[in-house]
């Protein structure tokens, strides 16, 4: 049985006050600040397997997984060994090194249309570089993106973005120039007619369509059957590139990411892909890659400049390589079982408590939307009872289960979520569902 922890978290609270004095909002990435749910973020001191321990000494089953990377759980012994052995030989050389080659080989081996890839340090850098490359390759400037899709904090891609932009209901980001914004067309997700119409009007200006392979940053909203194919067909007909952002889904939804679940595409594969999160194993490593004729436009072979002091960092690539090599079919099978169990139990508990909800799933990624009816786009994702989510979230947190602190994020499971961790979550879920039911608005939404 889970018993709730006391409401106050003195050590996290003290650190949060210190942090707010010197860092905007007290955090180094906005969603960590708990603004979507209220309360004090937990400052974590350590992680092992499926569990995190905070500075007040409380333990939590982690369903954030560092927002995706920790697919094997925290401090996996073999990844730790790879990191410490590599670090002992030096941290960064500013020269090529073998792990970089091996990591890109692993990516190329897993995702058939990726003939070449280049390593960077964050998903943001990957999408930013892919956009520049698409513009350089096509000689066009306009980019099409979808509302609710998040591609990192790239200026031109912040319009109607998901993730923190959704959590805080920001219309767009301040500080993005009109010129940048005017070169971005934002369309509703899963709406091929809107894509057709945009291309009919401005097709010759459009360098690329960028889409999350299966969106996870407005909550989990998989592409409708034929949507990705349709994007491929339309972009190809107009000489534009298709960029599939697999930063979240890559190496998580399957060995070959979301691509591995949707393939084969009759109209052909996307031209470029972006990766991050899992491929860094918890360290800053990300990548973009795709067709060799496009990738060869990058410096030093071609005229599109792109660089990075720490790109392909030896320690980060060692962590990523060890992680990917450990991501065997058994691991993907285990992730499915964990996701089946937890999503099934969450739904059952909410149904029992009479709370309207829908669970959406993409591979082992899933989340609960607090509304009735499937979510196919950003408008529908925003039409949910975030107060019910906050009540659900806080009850789980008080019982040692750490969910993403936002109704617009996927929950992330790991292969380290063993029977003990799962039992702990199953025990807490009915209490959380009851709290969501008591939150008031929970009972009326969709009614």
Ligand X SMILES: *Cc1c(COP(=O)(O)O)cnc(C)c1O
Binding residues (CB under 6 A) for ligand X: these are 122-124, 127, 150-152, 212, 217, 245, 247-248, 276, 286
Comparing CB distances to ligand X, the nearer of 150 and 378 is 150
Helix pair angle (386-398, 419-438), 10° resolution: 140
Q: How far is the CB of 153 from ligand X (least distance, A)?
A: 7
The pairing of beta strand 51-54 with beta strand 44-48: antiparallel
Comparing CB distances to ligand X, the nearer of 245 and 271 is 245
The pairing of beta strand 51-54 with beta strand 116-120: unpaired
**Cβ-proximal residue to ligand X, closest one:** 123
Comparing CB distances to ligand X, the nearer of 312 and 442 is 312
Question: Can you tell me the distance from the alpha carbon of 108 to that of 71, in angstroms, rounded to the nearest whole number?
Answer: 20
Q: Which of 54, 56, 62, 245 is catalytic?
A: 245
Which residues lie closer than 8 Å to 183 by C-beta, 6 or more apart?
Answer: 141, 142, 143, 156
8 classed as catalytic? no
Q: Which of 150, 189, 332, 378 is catalytic?
A: 150
Comparing CB distances to ligand X, the nearer of 365 and 428 is 365
Number of H helices, E strands in the chain: 15, 13
Q: How far is the CB of 274 from ligand X (least distance, A)?
A: 7
Neighbours of 48 (CB within 10 A): 15
**Maximal CA-CA distance, the chain:** 62
Question: Can you tell me the distance from the alpha carbon of 444 to that of 447, in angstroms, rounded to the nearest whole number?
Answer: 5
Q: How far is the CB of 276 from ligand X (least distance, A)?
A: 5
Helix pair angle (329-352, 419-438), 10° resolution: 30
Q: How far is the CB of 185 from ligand X (least distance, A)?
A: 18
Which residues lie closer than 8 Å to 220 by C-beta, 6 or more apart?
Answer: 214, 360, 361, 362, 365, 366, 367, 410
Comparing CB distances to ligand X, the nearer of 217 and 360 is 217
Sheet arrangement for strand 142-146:
116-120, 286-290, 272-275, 241-245, 206-212, 142-146, 184-187
Comparing CB distances to ligand X, the nearer of 257 and 442 is 257
Comparing CB distances to ligand X, the nearer of 23 and 441 is 23
Q: How far is the CB of 257 from ligand X (least distance, A)?
A: 11
Q: Which of 56, 145, 271, 277 is catalytic?
A: 277
Comparing CB distances to ligand X, the nearer of 122 and 398 is 122
Q: How far is the CB of 429 from ligand X (least distance, A)?
A: 26
Q: How far is the CB of 400 from ligand X (least distance, A)?
A: 26
150 classed as catalytic? yes
Q: Do 429 and 63 meet the contact criterion of CB atoms below 8 Å apart?
A: no
Question: Can you tell me the distance from the alpha carbon of 348 to that of 441, in angstroms, rounded to the nearest whole number?
Answer: 20
Question: Can you tell me the distance from the alpha carbon of 417 to that of 103, in angstroms, rounded to the nearest whole number?
Answer: 26
Tell me the two tokens of residue 311. Answer: 């790109």
277 classed as catalytic? yes
Q: DSSP characters for 283-297? A: SS-EEEEE-HHHHTT
- Phi–psi pair at 342, nearest 5 degrees: -70, -40
Q: How far is the CB of 361 from ligand X (least distance, A)?
A: 17
The residues carrying an active-site annotation are 150, 245, 277
């Amino acid at each position: 049985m889970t018993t709730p922890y006391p409401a106050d978290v003195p050590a996290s609270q003290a650190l949060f006050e210190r942090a707010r004095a010197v860092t905007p909002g007290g955090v180094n990435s906005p969603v960590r600040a708990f603004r979507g749910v209220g309360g004090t973020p937990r400052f974590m001191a350590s992680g092992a397997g499926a569990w995190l321990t905070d500075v007040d000494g409380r333990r939590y089953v982690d369903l954030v997984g560092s927002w995706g990377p920790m697919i094997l759980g925290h401090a996996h012994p073999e990844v730790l060994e790879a990191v410490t052995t590599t670090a002992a030989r030096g941290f960064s050389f500013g020269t090529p090194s073998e792990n970089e080659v091996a990591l890109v080989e692993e990516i190329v081996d897993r995702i058939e249309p990726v003939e070449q890839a280049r390593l960077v340090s964050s998903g943001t850098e990957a999408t930013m570089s892919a956009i520049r490359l698409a513009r350089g390759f096509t000689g066009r400037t306009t980019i099409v993106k979808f509302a609710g899709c998040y591609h990192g904090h790239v200026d031109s891609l912040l319009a109607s973005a998901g993730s923190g932009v959704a959590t805080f209901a920001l219309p767009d980001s301040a500080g993005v120039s009109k010129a940048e914004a005017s070169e971005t067309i934002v369309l509703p997700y899963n709406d091929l007619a809107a894509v057709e119409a945009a291309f009919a009007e401005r097709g010759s200006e459009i360098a690329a369509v960028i889409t999350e392979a299966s969106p996870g940053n407005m909550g989990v909203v998989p592409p409708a059957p034929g949507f990705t194919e349709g994007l491929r067909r339309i972009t190809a007909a107009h000489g534009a590139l298709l960029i599939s952002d697999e930063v979240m889904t890559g190496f998580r939804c399957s060995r070959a990411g979301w691509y591995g679940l949707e393939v084969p595409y009759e109209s052909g594969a996307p031209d470029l892909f972006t990766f991050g999160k899992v491929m860094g194993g918890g360290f800053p490593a990300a990548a973009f890659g795709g067709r060799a004729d496009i990738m060869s436009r990058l410096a030093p072979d071609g005229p599109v400049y792109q660089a990075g002091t720490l790109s392909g960092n030896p320690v980060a690539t060692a962590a990523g390589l060890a992680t990917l090599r450990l991501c065997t079919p058994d691991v993907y099978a285990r992730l499915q079982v964990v996701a089946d169990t937890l999503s099934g139990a969450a739904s059952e508990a909410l149904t029992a408590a009479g709370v309207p909800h829908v669970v959406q799933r993409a591979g082992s990624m899933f989340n609960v939307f607090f509304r009735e009816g499937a979510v196919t786009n950003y408008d529908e994702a925003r039409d949910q009872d975030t107060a019910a989510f906050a009540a659900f979230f806080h009850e789980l947190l008080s019982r040692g289960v750490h969910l993403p602190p936002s109704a617009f994020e996927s929950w992330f499971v790991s292969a380290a979520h063993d029977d003990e961790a799962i039992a702990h979550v199953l025990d807490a879920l009915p209490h959380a569902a009851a709290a969501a039911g008591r939150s008031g608005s929970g009972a009326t939404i969709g009614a």
